[in-house]
Amino acid sequence: MISIRDVVTKENIKRKNTIDGVTQAIFMASAILSASFIVLIIVFIAFKGLSPFLLNYEGYNFQQGTVDLDPVNPISFLTGSQWLGGTLGLSSDYGIGFAIINTLIVVFLAIMLSVPVSVFTALFIAKVAPKRLANVMRTVVELLASIPSIIYGVFGLGIITQFVVFVAGFFDYQTAAGLSLLSTVIVLSIMILPTITAVSETSIRSVDKTIIDGSLALGASDIQTYMKVVLTAAKSGIFAGIILGVGRALGEATAVALVSGNLFAGIQLNPLGTTATLTSRMLLGIKDTTGIDYDIRFSIGLVLMAVIVITNLSLNFVMKRLGGIHEQ
Partner 1 sequence: MDAIFELKNINLYYGQTQAIKGIDMTIERNKVTAFIGPSGCGKSTFIRILNRMNDLIPECKIDGNIEFEGQNAYAKDYDVIELRTKVGMVFQKPNPFPMSIYDNIAYGPRCQGVKNKAQLDEIVEQSLRRSALWDEVKDRMKESAMGLSGGQQQRLCIARTIAMEPEVILMDEPTSALDPIATQKIEDLIVELKELYTIVIVTHNMQQAARISDNTAFFMLGELIEFGATDKLFATPQNPKTEEYITGRFG
Distance between CA atoms of 14 and 176, rounded to whole angstroms? 73
Distance between CA atoms of 257 and 249, rounded to whole angstroms? 12
Please report how close the Cβ of residue 324 comes to partner 1 at its closest, in angstroms. Answer: 10
Q: In terms of CB distance, is 54 or 217 closer to partner 1?
A: 217
* CB neighbours of residue 131 within 10 Å: 7
Query: Which of the ranges 72-80, 194-202, 221-229, 281-289 carries the binding residues for partner 1, by CB under 8 A?
Result: 221-229
Please identify which residue in 217, 287, 289, 290 interacts with partner 1, judged by CB under 8 A. Answer: 217
Please identify which residue in 202, 224, 254, 316 interacts with partner 1, judged by CB under 8 A. Answer: 224
DSSP tag of 261: B
Please identify which residue in 13, 214, 269, 306 interacts with partner 1, judged by CB under 8 A. Answer: 214
Per the CB < 8 A criterion, the answer to whether 201 and 137 are in contact is no
Please identify which residue in 220, 267, 302, 315 interacts with partner 1, judged by CB under 8 A. Answer: 220
Please identify which residue in 195, 215, 260, 274 interacts with partner 1, judged by CB under 8 A. Answer: 215
**If binding is defined by CB under 8 A, does position 320 make contact with partner 1?**
no
φ, ψ of residue 71 to 5 degrees: the values are: -60, 150
Nearest to 242 by CA among 170, 193, 300, 294: 193
Question: Binding marks (x or -) toward partner 1, 228..257, rule CB under 8 A?
Answer: xx--xx-x----------------------
Please report how close the Cβ of residue 131 comes to partner 1 at its closest, in angstroms. Answer: 10
CB-based burial label for 9 (10 Å; 0-12, 13-18, 19+):
exposed
Q: How many residues bind partner 1 (CB under 8 A)?
A: 22
Please identify which residue in 221, 270, 306, 318 interacts with partner 1, judged by CB under 8 A. Answer: 221
Query: Which 192-211 residues touch partner 1, going by CB under 8 A?
Result: 208, 210-211
The 10 Å CB-count burial string (b at 16+, else e) for 258-284 is: bbbbbbbeeebeebbbbbbbbbbbbbb
Q: In terms of CB distance, is 63 or 210 closer to partner 1?
A: 210
Distance between CA atoms of 180 and 102, rounded to whole angstroms? 12
Distance between CA atoms of 197 and 200, rounded to whole angstroms? 5
φ, ψ of residue 272 to 5 degrees: the values are: -90, -5
Please report how close the Cβ of residue 129 comes to partner 1 at its closest, in angstroms. Answer: 14
**If binding is defined by CB under 8 A, does position 327 make contact with partner 1?**
yes
- 283-286: long-range contacts at Cβ-Cβ below 8 A with a sequence spacing of 24 or more? 283/253, 283/254, 283/257, 284/257
Q: Residue 254 half-sphere exposure, CB side, CA atoms within 13 Å? A: 10
**If binding is defined by CB under 8 A, does position 321 make contact with partner 1?**
no
**If binding is defined by CB under 8 A, does position 128 make contact with partner 1?**
no
Per the CB < 8 A criterion, the answer to whether 184 and 260 are in contact is yes
Q: In terms of CB distance, is 1 or 217 closer to partner 1?
A: 217
**If binding is defined by CB under 8 A, does position 219 make contact with partner 1?**
yes
**If binding is defined by CB under 8 A, does position 319 make contact with partner 1?**
no
Please identify which residue in 140, 159, 216, 302 interacts with partner 1, judged by CB under 8 A. Answer: 216
Please report how close the Cβ of residue 281 comes to partner 1 at its closest, in angstroms. Answer: 43
Query: By the criterion CB under 8 A, which residues form the site for partner 1?
Result: 208, 210-211, 213-221, 224, 228-229, 232-233, 235, 325-328
